[in-house]
Structure 1
Amino acid sequence: MMMGNSLERNQTSLTYRSLSLFLLLAVLMTPLGLTARSFAYQDEAAPAGEAPAANEAPAGEAPAAGEAPAGEAPAAGGAQPAANGPAPAAASESFLSWMIRASGFFGLILLLLSFLMVALIMANVLSIRRDNLMPPDLIGAFEEKLNNKDYQGAFELAKSDDSFVARVLAAGLSKLNQGYSEAVEGMQEVGEDENMAMEHKLSYLALIGAIAPMIGLMGTVYGMILSFQTIANSATSPKPSELADGISTALFTTLEGLTVAIPAMIFYSLLRNRVARFSLEVGMISESLMNRFSSSSK
């Protein structure tokens, strides 16, 4: 059973190490996405020189045949040229596609972080439960064996279970022959070790809550750089529509970073408080069960 517990802990450690590597790769790939998007923006930029309009006559040329000379009013009933007519309305873009396009590489990283956050929250919520950490059936059976003075059976029962309270009770019974104080110290050591293991799993939620706003802030800075680059490369005052891409990138990435970070920090605080409360309950239950040996050791 000890080999099974060790194997399970090694697999859990390997899983969370893989999650750490994923977060590290996500952060390291961010500069690559910045460079690729910067090159794409430069390729799509309009050239500095513009050709003259089709209906604009070059300087020094006579007006074309049938064209009224300067200063004369157009003929009555004459139709206006098609070039001067209203431009066709551009196709409207949905809000979702606009958000995806504006977020770019930063949005992809934050989307992956959101999936990872949901997986971590579900895994911790399912594991940090009273029935998993302090099974009522185990506590009742353990107390019954102690009442029947079947101490070896109580030790085997605690040793065969993988719950929090069972590990603490097994550690106390294993050191009971050295004295009650040694048994209590052994239970405290195992309790602190289990508490640290659960908080270690929760620390990845805190990590996501810390780096998600930073990735959003990086997208904010990058979007403002795009807007200022448009202003710098424009010979005249740029239109608001030309600055909209950079500003939308800045705002959307900030929103997405906060959307990922806020739930991560909320669930981290709630689950950490639950771990502290359950650890205290395990300590109280184990001490109440082992307290009967304190008088016999004196």
Structure 2
Amino acid sequence: MMMGNSLERNQTSMAYRSLSIFLLLAVLLTPLGLTARSFAYQDEAAPAAGEAPAAGEAPAAGGEAPAAGGGEAPAGGGAEPAAPAGNGAAPAAASESFLSWMIRASGFFGFILLLLSFLMVALIMANVLSIRRDNLMPPDLIGAFEEKLNNKDYQGAFELAKSDDSFVARVLAAGLSKLNQGYSEAIEGMQEVGEDENMAMEHKLSYLALIGAIAPMIGLMGTVYGMILSFQTIASSATSPKPSELADGISTALFTTLEGLTVAIPAMIFYSLLRNRVARFSLEVGMISESLMNRFSSSSK
């Protein structure tokens, strides 16, 4: 059973190490995504800048044709269909849904924050399911252990605690294993195991705190990057840019900030709640184990 517990702990440790490596890669790959998106933005902005004069020259050329044609210009209906064509392009650009706009504006930052949100939900569910009173302090185990102590079946009580994988069972097994050295040594051994188990649970919770700290930083990086795009548009434009030309950078800044906070706030809330639960259950385990082992204090004196 001890080998099974050790194997389970090694697997859990490997899983959390993989999570740490993923978070580190997410932070390191963010600047690469920034560079790639910056080049893509410049490539998209170049044709748009070239098309603007062409669109402006087309009406000028069309305006000269009616002047040369004299009175026949109104008869030619070519100028009137041009206006509906221009009006028809505006609704096509405005028909983009909010979700697709948010995905396009978020870009690489949104992808990283989406992955962090999946990890956050997985960590929350795993910790909520594991940090429960029935898992840490099974009532059936405590009742059976107390019954064996009342019957003075100390070896059976030790085997019962040794065969269980719960928090309180590990603490009781540590106390009974050192009982031959004295009651004070048994209590000290129980406290050491309790602190070790408490540290292991808080170590799992620390990844939620890490996500809560990283997510706003990634959102802030997206905010800075979006503002850089907007100022780049202003600097590269010969005239005052239109608000629609600045909308891409501003939307990137706002969406990434919103997404970063959306991931960070639940992570920090659940981290605080689960950490308080760990502290309360650790205290209860200490009180239960000491009350069960208290009967050996008089016999050891």
Same fold (TM over 0.5): yes
- Secondary structure at 1:89 match in 2: helix
The alpha-carbon distance between structure 1 residues 277 and 139, as it changes in their structure 2 partners (threshold 3 A), is same
User: How many residues are treated as equivalent by the alignment?
Assistant: 295
Displacement of 1:62: 10
Distance 1:261 1:85, change over 3 A: closer
Q: CA deviation at 1:45?
A: 1.3
Contact 1:57 1:63 in 2 (8 A): no
Q: Structure 1 CA distance, aligned partners of 2:55 and 2:203?
A: 69
- Structure 2 gaps, min length 5: none
Once structures 1 and 2 are overlaid, which stretch shifts more, 140-149 or 78-87? 78-87
Structure 1 residue 238: deviation in Å?
A: 0.1
Please give the per-residue CA displacement for 1:113-153, whole angstroms capped at 9, x wherever unaligned: 00000000000000000000000000000000000000000
Identity of aligned residues (%): 96
Provide closer, same or farther for how the CA distance between residues 226 and 86 of structure 1 changes in structure 2, counting only shifts above 3 A.
closer
Residues 240, 121 of structure 1: alpha-carbon distance in 2 compared, 3 angstrom cutoff: same
Displacement of 1:55: 8.9
Partner of 1:150: 153
Aligned pair 1:186/2:194, yes or no?
no
Matches within 5 A, 1:138-217: 138-217=141-220
- What's the TM-score, normalizing by structure 2? 0.90
TM-score by length of 1: 0.90
- Is the CA contact (8 Å cut-off) linking 1:145 and 1:153 kept in structure 2? yes
CA contact (8 A) 1:219 1:249 kept: yes
Any idea what the Cα deviations from partners look like across 1:250-282, whole Å, max 9, x if unmatched? 000000000000000000000000000000000
**Counterparts in 2 of 1:79 and 1:34: CA distance versus 1, 3 Å:** closer
After superposing the two structures, state which structure 1 stretch, 197-206 or 49-58, moved more: 49-58
Q: SS of the counterpart of 1:86? A: helix
Deviations 1:51-82 (Å, cap 9, x if unpaired)?
Answer: 8668969999998641xxx9999799997573
Tell whether 2:282 aligns with 1:279: yes
Q: Distance in 1 between matches of 2:236 and 2:16?
A: 47
Are 1:238 and 2:241 an aligned pair? yes
Mapped to 1, the partners of 2:250 and 2:63 lie a distance apart of: 44
Higher helix share: 2
Paired residues of 1:165 and 1:286 also in contact (CA < 8 A): yes
Structure 2 vs 1, CA of residues 78 and 22 (structure 1 numbering), >3 Å: closer, same or farther? closer
1: CA distance, partners of 2:65 / 2:288: 103
RMSD between aligned alpha carbons?
Answer: 3.1
Give the conservation status (yes or no) of the 8 Å contact 1:209–1:262.
yes
Shift of residue 239, structure 1, vs aligned partner? 0.1
Shift, 1:46, TM fit? 3.2
Counterpart Cα distance in 1 of 2:283 and 2:300: 25
